[in-house]
Amino acid sequence: MAISTKGQTGLTGNTAIAYAMKQINPDVCPAYPITPSTAIIEDFSSYVADGAVDTELITVESEHSAMSACIGAAAAGARVMTATSAQGLALMWEMLYIASGMRFPIVIANVNRALSAPINIHCDHSDSMGARDSGWVQLYSETVQEAYDNFIQAVRIAENEKVLLPVMVCFDGFITSHAIENISLLDDAEVREFIGEYKPRHHLLDTDNPVTYGAMTLQDTYIEFKRQQSQAMSRAKDVVTEVGREFAGKFGRDYGLMETYRLDDAEAAIVILNSAAGTTKVAADELRKQGKKVGVLRPRLFRPFPFKEMADALKNVKAVAVLDRADSMNGFGGPLFNEVRSALYELDTRPRVISRIYGLGGRDYKVKDAASVFDELLKISSTGKVETLQKYITL
């Protein structure tokens, strides 16, 4: 299928990511298919077969091997990317830590899908939330347009010399990956100019300057390497902002660390990731028409977690609901709730914060669901009392 970069183009999330990969033209792409991310590699393999890219596509026997091959290729100095979902990301788990610990700027599209059991192929965030401590930068995307833009920016963020960490671009399985949306694409030349050439500090194919990757470090140095990695992750926050500004300056689409929607004078706010933020904004618009002061905060950057900016954005709100599409199973609320509430603890006057788990395994989250959470928040805001701190909704 010929795709035009002029004007608006109707693409699914997966097709848009495959097209971004074609424009990026990575050196190596080791991949193993899994629903709902399969079409990314399916489309991209056509580009490889047609000679539209120079990429070495390695069809491996599992996702563990896919991430292992990404690491090996990155050690050889290649620009590397792949895509996966759910069980695929889970199978990569130990290799995710190795990729980040070795400071390889690998980029992965993670199309969010529920983890088994029971088996389910639809959207929730239990896959990427399970990888939140693996040392990967995590960007979440509401729309096809944002997934495409985030994926291109991810290359710059990962390869920035202040960062040098792998980046995971997350978007919702089926809802974003399979729905067609009109989006604006960049020209190939614009993408190439924006991402530039990747020049690794060291690589294994440079036989004039031999190096060792994967050496053992024990009590005398391991903790220093982890601190170094943590500091790089912390620097990634400003790099995400800088790259976002440059992207906005060149291409007009502006993304910060988070999106705030009608939040300035809001009494009640919902914090929510990815596509469901769109539904929540529609509910906010409807309630605003009735004079109710409600707003939405959609985090774009989840790792590193911009806790100061989060607290600043929510400091004047009276009641906040954090909606998680993943459960920490008997942790204190979902993973996003945990972090948002913890960020707010530093404030002198804190909003009341409740946890709601929604939409697991692709369960629909409707405007009425968001509206009912807003109504609950407005009640909390007027009475100052929380009746139910945490519960499942959309049941």
Partner 1 sequence: MENKKELPLGGVIPRGGTAHEYSTGGWRKLRPVVDKDKCTNCLICWVMCPDSAVITQDGKMVGFDMEHCKGCGICAVECPDKVKAIKMEEEAG
- Minimum CB separation from partner 1 for residue 217, in Å? 6
Structure tokens at 373: 């959470």
Per CB under 8 A, the segment of 95-103, 116-124, 180-188, 313-321 that binds partner 1 is: 95-103
Per CB under 8 A, 228 contacts partner 1 = yes
351: Cβ–Cβ under 8 A, 6 or more apart, which residues? 269, 314, 315, 317, 318, 319, 320, 344
Whichever of 74 and 115 has its CB closer to partner 1, that residue is 74
Structure tokens at 204: 């294994």
Whichever of 162 and 366 has its CB closer to partner 1, that residue is 162
Check: CB of residue 283 under 8 Å from CB of residue 308.
no
Per CB under 8 A, 368 contacts partner 1 = no
Per CB under 8 A, 345 contacts partner 1 = no
Give CA–CA dist 27/227, Å, rounded: 30
Give CA–CA dist 130/110, Å, rounded: 12
Per CB under 8 A, 136 contacts partner 1 = no
Per CB under 8 A, 46 contacts partner 1 = no
With 0-12 CB in 10 A as exposed, 13-18 as middle and 19+ as buried, what is 335?
A: buried
How many residues touch partner 1 under the rule CB under 8 A: the total is 21
- Minimum CB separation from partner 1 for residue 79, in Å? 17
Whichever of 229 and 372 has its CB closer to partner 1, that residue is 229
Per CB under 8 A, 201 contacts partner 1 = yes
Q: Within positions 208 to 227, which residues make up the interface with partner 1, using CB under 8 A?
A: 209-215, 217, 220-221, 224-225
Give CA–CA dist 266/260, Å, rounded: 11
Angle at 300 between CA 53 and CA 387, to 5 degrees: 145
Per CB under 8 A, 249 contacts partner 1 = no
- Cross-strand pairs, 109: 83, 169
Of 88, 101, 299, 333, the one binding partner 1 by CB under 8 A: 101
> How large is the greatest C-alpha to C-alpha distance in the chain, in angstroms?
71
Whichever of 7 and 210 has its CB closer to partner 1, that residue is 210
Residues counted in the chain: 395
Residues that bind partner 1 (CB under 8 A): 101-104, 164, 201-202, 209-215, 217, 220-221, 224-225, 228-229
